[in-house]
């Protein structure tokens, strides 16, 4: 009996370490991606430090901690970044699940392109690309905004039929409020407080609507196929 118990313990120990080995083996691709992304970001920090002489602390610390501004500074803008960041994560996750299922390739491409587009908009919002960075590099703001409009036009021309088969009302809301916010930005109101409240408040509605649309699309894609217009289109 003791020999049987001992054999069982040895078998359980072997099974345990084999299971651990399988789990570690399956995690290597994820670990490689994590290390690669971190290396790229830290490498960019070092390049800016040695190239432009920017202190490391100014590139790694929280902006409010560097400037000494109160913690609530930019509160609404920070919430907007949260919603911007959630959208690419939703799209990439849903596209990955669909890819593993081997279903709806056109929808997968739509989600991937949407993730890249949203990431571009989030980076623009975070680093003020069209307002400050690109004009400082010699690219006028109107050229940047025109490029964005062209990209949006190509995007909707390519995926109009697919979008039409989704619950697209939040997307229309997002586009409407983005447009209104852009108009207000180009034509400032006389009252600064009222101007920023309306402009940034309207923009936040657009951001949340944009994220809500892709949440609906992702949920629908994972629960049931989005109906195709034709076999050829999918």
Contact between 177 and 203 (Cβ < 8 Å): yes
Domain coordinates in residue numbering, the chain: 1-60, 73-223
Contact between 96 and 221 (Cβ < 8 Å): no
pLDDT digits (tens, 9 = 90+) for 47-83: 999 998 999 999 998 888 888 888 888 899 999 999 9
Distance CA 71, CA 74 (A): 8
Mean pLDDT of the chain: 86
pLDDT digits (tens, 9 = 90+) for 36-51: 999 999 999 999 999 9
């Amino acid at each position: 009996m003791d020999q049987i118990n001992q054999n069982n313990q040895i078998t359980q120990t072997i099974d345990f370490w084999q299971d651990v080995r399988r789990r570690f083996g399956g995690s290597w691709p994820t670990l490689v991606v994590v290390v690669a992304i971190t290396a790229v970001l830290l490498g960019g920090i070092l390049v800016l430090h040695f190239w432009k002489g920017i202190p490391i602390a100014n590139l790694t610390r929280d902006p409010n901690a560097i400037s000494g501004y109160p913690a609530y500074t930019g509160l609404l803008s920070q919430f907007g970044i949260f919603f911007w960041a959630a959208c690419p994560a939703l799209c990439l996750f849903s596209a990955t699940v669909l890819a593993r299922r081997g279903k709806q390739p056109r929808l997968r491409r739509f989600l991937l392109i949407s993730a890249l587009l949203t990431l571009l908009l989030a980076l623009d919002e975070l680093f003020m690309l069209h307002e400050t960075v690109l004009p400082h590099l010699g690219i006028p703001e109107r050229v940047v905004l025109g490029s964005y409009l062209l990209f949006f036009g190509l995007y909707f021309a390519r995926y109009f039929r697919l979008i039409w088969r989704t619950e697209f009302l939040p997307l229309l809301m997002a586009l409407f409020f983005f447009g209104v916010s852009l108009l207000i930005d180009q034509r400032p109101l006389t009252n600064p407080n009222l101007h920023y409240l309306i402009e940034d408040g309207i923009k936040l509605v657009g951001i949340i609507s944009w994220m809500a649309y892709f949440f609906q699309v992702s949920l629908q894609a994972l629960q049931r196929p989005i109906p195709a217009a034709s076999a050829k289109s999918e």
